[in-house]
Structure 1
Amino acid sequence: MSKAKGFKKSKAGTYLSMGTTAFGAVSVIKQAKKARMEHDTLRLIDAAVSAAAIVTGLALLYRELKRIGDDDVLLG
């Protein structure tokens, strides 16, 4: 179990988290397109907020990846 906890803080775990987060963008894009077609302002706002959350999440994961890279002298 301790291996699994360490994986989350590893480069591979961070890349996996970034991929999973980016994959969520697909559903947000679909939601935004549907909202625009239906002229549903509330759903469009929801899609925009979700997109902002995805961008923020990716930025945080990128920062974590850079931190891991700076700490990992052997792979640098």
Structure 2
Amino acid sequence: MTSALQKAKGFKKSKTGTYLSMGTTAFGAVAVAKQVKKARADHDTLKLIDAVVSAAAIVTGLAILYRELKRLGDDDVLLG
């Protein structure tokens, strides 16, 4: 059982795990886009601010994951 846990922790720090994390983080952008659209339609400033903060968190998360990918030596895949 400990071996499976070690493999799972290792996967999170692998290139594949990082790509998967980037994909799931980017998928959250769809929900935020819907949130922005609804907040604008409702003229709800507070919900719009919440959506903008959520979008900033997604951008920051993707930047951190990209940095991790560069650390793993795989930045040429995203740039090329």
Q: Which residue of 2 aligns with 1:31?
A: 35
Structure 2 stretches lacking a partner, 5+ long = 75-80
Whether 2:4 is the aligned partner of 1:4: answer no
Match of 2:78 in 1: none
Q: Secondary structure at the match of 1:69?
A: coil
Calculate the TM-score normalised by the size of structure 1.
0.90
- Could you say what the CA RMSD is over the residues aligned between the two structures, in angstroms? 0.9
Residue 48 of structure 2 is matched in structure 1 by 44
**Hey, what's the Cα distance between the residues in 1 that align with 2:9 and 2:51?**
32
Q: Distance in 2 between matches of 1:7 and 1:69?
A: 16
Aligned match of 1:16 in 8, 15, 20? Answer: 20
Percent identity between the two aligned chains = 83
Deviation at 1:38, TM superposition (A): 0.3
What are the ranges of 5 or more consecutive residues in structure 1 without an aligned counterpart? 71-76
SS of 2:43's partner is coil
